[in-house]
Chain A
Amino acid sequence: MFTVASLFVLATMVLALLRAVRGPTVYDRIVAVNVFGTMTVLLLVLIGFLTDRPEFEDIALLYVLINFVAIIAVLKFELYSSLAGPRAASAEGATEKARDEAADGAGVDGR
């Protein structure tokens, strides 16, 4: 039965990838990537049971959280064209790297 569920999940991942390739807007692609991440978690859990290796549950647990943070980070970048808070960029002695990132953000903004 784990095989059946894994096949369902794999089919969903294929559909999500198709949507990520076709999606007319950026947000369609992000929705698809979000679904893909959730399905990856489920597939990891199922693989853990299929191969009888409980370590996979720890990886899945980590993957839930990383997936969430990744989606939020991508959305924040998409909406604000910047990942760092304003304070990091304007603090005294801001590094050259932070300035470069700000310049990159400005470039994206002007597309």
Chain B
Amino acid sequence: MTLALEILSWACIVVGGAFCLLSGIGLMRMPDVFTRMHAASLGDTLGAGLIILGLVFQAGLGADLVGVKLLLILVFLLFTAPVATHALSKAALLDGQRPWTADGQPPEATLERGDIADDDFLEEIRKDRAGGGAGRAD
């Protein structure tokens, strides 16, 4: 391994670790759930990305497949992280959490459970509950 590659990989890993630490600090300092999610996505994207990139420089894309597996980990992480964040924010909003704003005003747009007309899953569960209760009664 050449010296330049070594230095590059060293810098990637340490900067990635620093971004992870920043996301942890943001998790503690931010005022509400939604802003904390922004801080969390810091570690999910650039933190994890730079650490794994630095490790790929170390391992190389050789025949032992370590580098390929590392890249697969990164790809899976980049595909799943936004879906989890989206589900988290939507669940928090539908549960009645309101985003914090700097001036204390309510946000310019928001979402209630009633606004989602096509939530078939919830409707069917309610129907199920009613039917299930009747089934248990007899």
Contacts and interface: CB of A to CB of B under 8 A. Distances in A.
Q: Do chains A and B touch in the complex (CB under 8 A)?
A: yes
Interface of A: 1-2, 4-5, 7-9, 11-16, 18-19, 25, 27-28, 30-32, 34-35, 38-39, 41-42, 45-46, 49, 54, 57-58, 60-61, 64-65, 67-68, 71-72, 75, 78-82, 85-86, 89-90, 99, 102-103, 105-106
Interface of B: 10, 13-14, 16-18, 20-21, 23-25, 27-28, 33, 36-37, 40, 43-44, 47-48, 51-52, 54-55, 58-59, 64, 66, 69-70, 72-73, 76-77, 80-81, 83-85, 87-88, 91-92, 94-95, 97, 121-122, 124-125, 127-129, 131-133, 135-136
The B interface is mostly helix, strand or loop, or mixed, namely helix
A5 B127 contact: no
Contacts of B97: 25, 27
Contacts of A31: 27, 33, 36-37, 40, 88
Nearest to A8: B17
Given A45-B52, A60-B73, A86-B121, A35 B132 contact: no
A85 to B, nearest CB: 7
Nearest to B92: A27
Considering the complex of A and B, which 7 residue pairs feature the smallest CB-CB distances, nearest first?
A8-B17, A15-B24, A86-B124, A12-B24, A68-B80, A5-B17, A27-B92
B1 to A, nearest CB: 13
Counting chain A CB atoms within 10 Å of each CB, which of B17, B66, B95, B135 scores highest?
B17
